[in-house]
Amino acid sequence: AKEDGRGRYRMFEASMNARIQARRSLELDLRRAIARQEFALYYQPQVDARTGTYDGAEALIRWRHPERGLVSPADFIPLAEETGLIGILGEWVLRTACTEALAWPEHLTVAVNLSPVQFRDARLAATIRNILAETGFPAARLELEITEGSLLQDEQRTLSILRELRALGIRISMDDFGTGYSSLSYLSRFPFDKIKIDQSFVRRTPHDKDSAAIVRAIAMLGASLGMKTTAEGVETDVQSNFIAGQGCDQLQGYLISRPVPADAIADLFAASVPR
Ligand code: C2E
Ligand code: CA
Ligand code: CA
Ligand code: CA
């Protein structure tokens, strides 16, 4: 039994080592990738739920790894956060999104995801102000998507960061709404412009009555609080029709389009403008 235990321990140790190795090599890759510019932004359109016309797009980062191929953000954003690399990466995302969205018709917005690590940086508003000045992108066309993780610090600090950003003319969206804890109280404490209804509810709507009720409740909540609502992860016509019928303002999901490269979204938007 003793031997058996030690053997198992050795196997556990070996797999731990393998995992630490894999992590280290990914971290090294990540540092190199920033220098070699292996990142790209894909864009997923957001449409007006009533008219079906484009409102803008959300920027989603992709890593074109020379050996691993297209790496999903879920596989490297957490590592970038732990290693602090998210600072440079996040700045690159903001600058690139503002530059690429300049090519779009003037009424369209670009939404950028912000990591809680970036949100905690005292220089955030100054950094963004500089990027807007350098690129010439109008603040009014930039939206920042933040998650609950950004709101967990000191409330006064969070409020002052949000006010600073909004004073620049930037709009703030509460991402993944309905997941996590006490999200409801965040809506009364912080000045959001938009609520993004989490995909998990959208996916089960309308066949799951509880999810459908939650989508309806969030759409009503947004309307009464003066916040726009966006349903993300819309994949079917049935979902789209139901959600639009609940008074939700915007739709985003594979039904409309998967995230596409910068040149493709520019073409899509250009073709949608009557000329
Ligand atoms: P998110 O911000 O909630 O983004 C929505 C995710 O849902 C994206 O995954 C998008 O491709 C996917 N999606 C959109 N429509 C559908 C649909 O109809 N069905 C399904 N099944 N999925 C859909 P993606 O691009 O893999 O990004 C995952 C997460 O990584 C994002 O979740 C966001 O939290 C993070 N992320 C992506 N880009 C950035 C970035 O530039 N900075 C930061 N900090 N995080 C990012
Ligand atoms: Ca998002
Ligand atoms: Ca989301
Ligand atoms: Ca509405």
Tens digits of residue pLDDT in 172-196: 999 999 988 767 889 999 999 999 9
Count the Cβ atoms, other than its own, within 10 Å of residue 23.
13
Radius of gyration of the chain (CA): 21
| Mean pLDDT, residues 258-274 taken together | 95
Distance in Å, CA 60 to ligand 3 centroid: 11
Residue whose Cα lies nearest atom 7 of ligand 1: it is 233
pLDDT at residue 4 above 70? no
Contact 143, 171 (CB under 8 A): yes
Distance in Å, CA 271 to ligand 2 centroid: 25
Give residue 3's pLDDT.
56
Around ligand 1, the residues with Cβ closer than 6 Å are 44, 60-61, 72-74, 77, 93, 113, 115, 145, 175-176, 232-235, 253-254, 259
Give the rounded percent of residues in the chain with a pLDDT score beyond 70: 97
Mean pLDDT is lowest, of 13-17, 41-45, 223-227, for: 13-17
Contact 136, 169 (CB under 8 A): no
**Distance between CA 196 and CA 11 in Å, rounded?**
44
* Average of per-residue pLDDT values in the chain: 93
Give residue 153's pLDDT.
84
Contact 125, 94 (CB under 8 A): no
Distance in Å, CA 222 to ligand 4 centroid: 7
Work out whether the CA dihedral 55, 115, 153, 201 comes out positive or negative.
positive
Residues 6+ away with beta carbon under 8 Å from 91:
127, 131
Closest ligand, as measured to the CA of 145: 2
Distance in Å, CA 114 to ligand 4 centroid: 25
pLDDT at residue 8 above 80? no
Alpha helices in the chain (DSSP H): 2-36, 73-83, 86-100, 116-119, 124-135, 155-167, 183-189, 199-203, 209-225, 237-245, 262-272
Report yes or no on whether pTM surpasses 0.90: yes
Closest ligand, as measured to the CA of 225: 4
Distance in Å, CA 176 to ligand 3 centroid: 4
| Mean pLDDT, residues 148-163 taken together | 92
Residue whose Cα lies nearest atom 12 of ligand 1: it is 233
Q: Is 252 exposed, middle or buried (0-12, 13-18, 19+ CB in 10 A)?
A: buried
**Distance between CA 232 and CA 252 in Å, rounded?**
5
Atom of ligand 1 nearest to the CA of 81: 44
Give residue 2's pLDDT.
52
Residue whose Cα lies nearest atom 16 of ligand 1: it is 233
Contact 211, 235 (CB under 8 A): no
| Mean pLDDT, residues 50-77 taken together | 94
Contact 251, 32 (CB under 8 A): no
Residues 6+ away with beta carbon under 8 Å from 117:
81, 84, 86, 87, 90
Closest ligand, as measured to the CA of 227: 4
**Distance between CA 158 and CA 164 in Å, rounded?**
10
Going by C-alpha positions, the residue among 94, 92, 167 that lies closest to residue 128 is: 94
Sequence length of the chain is: 275
Residue whose Cα lies nearest atom 42 of ligand 1: it is 113
Distance in Å, CA 223 to ligand 4 centroid: 5
Going by C-alpha positions, the residue among 225, 146, 132 that lies closest to residue 187 is: 225
**Distance between CA 76 and CA 265 in Å, rounded?**
24
**Distance between CA 101 and CA 123 in Å, rounded?**
23
Give residue 29's pLDDT.
87
| Mean pLDDT, residues 235-242 taken together | 98
Atom of ligand 1 nearest to the CA of 252: 15
| Mean pLDDT, residues 88-110 taken together | 97
Choose the residue to mutate in 62, 75, 92, 113 for probing ligand 1, maximizing ligand atoms within 8 Å of C-beta. Answer: 113
Distance in Å, CA 274 to ligand 2 centroid: 29
